[in-house]
Structure formats: structure tokens, C-alpha cells
Structure 1
């Protein structure tokens, strides 16, 4: 192959590798405090969930991987008020508990922290 053909391919592969390495290194905050309405904030161990689940899409199928995305989607009426916590988080925690796997909280009071 000619040099003019090989060079762009090599550069493309290197750029792809750099982007993938950067994405793998960015795991977001270790812990996140989620708005919990009148019931109080919800401490969320983000990196513990990543380590346990191994697939970001398990949670992020509902909302983008951006700070504040849950609240923006609720304000735009694209997510219902309790859709994430009550229907997604608790459902997963209860399923893990039924399987005998250590899981997170399964009731409202275990997550919401009033100050």
C-alpha cells in the first residue's frame, strides 16, 4: 500500500485508541448526591454501582451520563418524578436480594436522608 493510504489509517486507529482510553478512565464521581425532594437527598455510591454492575447502560438507559440529567429530564416531563428511584433502583435492588446477592436499600427511608 502507498504511504498516503497507510498514514491516515494509522492515525485514525491511534486517535480511536486514545479516545477509548480516555473514556475508560473517566468513571465519573465516586459518590453523587441526588435530589430527593421533600424526603431528603439520596446519597448514591456511583463507582460502587459501576463495579457491581459492570455496564453503565444498566442505569443510564433512562438518562444521559451528564451531571444533572435526571433533574433536567424531570423538568422537561420526560421522566416521571419517582421513575428512577422507585421503578428502576428499587426494582434492581429487590431482584438482587431475591437472588441472594448483596444489594442496596429496598425502601424509601433507607435512601432518603433528611437534614
Structure 2
């Protein structure tokens, strides 16, 4: 009787751990994110592919009340870049989602190439040519 209780507790703990892992894996965001770009063509960003080589904090962060960048914390709500990166932002180099994305993506891609990895560093690598109208 006592051993069956122990087994039941062990099974319940294992089940809970598995379900916690499933829940965490399920909350990794969308597989693909489309960044709109009227001029050069939309970017189909493979969120899944980037998760294989980057941490959430490599791209995501938040902002303190005084406007300073705060590192990503596990479980924090992820906002669209344009929520904060607007014309009202004090830093001109980051005052649009386009500027923030380019700064982050280009920096990471250039670093990857220096490490001998493959990553696009030219516009057409991420932006497909726009179809003629």
C-alpha cells in the first residue's frame, strides 16, 4: 500500500514536470513573423530558426520608466518593436522599429559571419525583391 502511494506521487511529479515543459515549449512565439517594408519588400522572419542560435534577450527587452533599456526577463510580455521605438523616442538611431530592427539584426548577422557562420548582411538577404506592379 505504501509503495503504491510512493509510485503515485512519483508519477504525478513526472507528469507535472512533463506538462510544465510542454507549456514552456508551446509559448515560444510564432514560427514566422512578417516585418512589413513597403520599399524593399516584407521580411519573413523565421522566429523558430533564430531561436536555435539566439536567446530571447538577444532581440527582446523592455524599458524602465526613465527610458533606459531593461534586459529581457523570462516570461515578460513581448511587445511589437513599434510600441516603443517611435519618433518620440529620445535616441534618434532607434526612433523607429525599422531602425531598431536593422541595428539589432545587422549587428548580430555581421558577428555571425565573423564567427564563420552564414547570415545575410545585404538588403536582399532578408528583403526579397518586390514584385513589379
Shorter-chain TM band: 0.5 to 0.7
Evaluate the alpha carbon distance shift between residue 31 and residue 38 of structure 1 in structure 2; reply closer, same or farther with a 3 A threshold. Answer: same
Q: Choose from 100, 107, 130 the match for 1:91.
A: 107
Q: Secondary structure at the match of 2:44?
A: strand
* Match in the other structure for 1:47: 48
Which whole-Å deviations, capped at 9, do the CAs of 1:12-62 have from their partners, x for residues lacking one? xxxxx7995423421111111112242221110101000122x11111136
Structure 2 CA distance for partners of 1:30 and 1:24, relative to 1, 3 Å: same
Name structure 2 gaps, 5 residues minimum: 1-16, 64-76
**Contact in 1 for aligned 2:33/2:46 (Cα 8 Å):** yes
Alpha-carbon distance in 2 for matches of 1:87, 1:109: 16
TM-score (normalised: structure 1) = 0.65
In 1, the alpha carbon distance for the partners of 2:99 and 2:18 equals: 36
Secondary structure (helix, strand or coil) at the match of 1:52 reads coil
Q: Normalization by structure 2: what TM-score?
A: 0.58
- In the alignment, structure 1 residue 65 sits paired with structure 2 residue 78: yes
Contiguous gaps of at least 5 residues in structure 1:
1-16
Bigger drift between 37-46 and 87-96 goes to 37-46
> Measured at CA, do residues 52 and 105 of structure 1 come closer, stay the same or move farther in structure 2, by a change above 3 Å?
same
Whose RCO is larger (CA < 8 A, sep 6+)?
1
| Aligned residue in 1 for 2:3 | none
Deviation string for 1:84-114 (max 9, x for gaps)? 3321101111111011123x21112221232
More strand by share: 2
Provide runs of 4+ in structure 1 moved above 4 Å: 17-20
- Is residue 56 of structure 1 aligned with residue 56 of structure 2? yes
What's the Cα RMSD here? 3.0
Q: Secondary structure at the match of 2:53?
A: helix
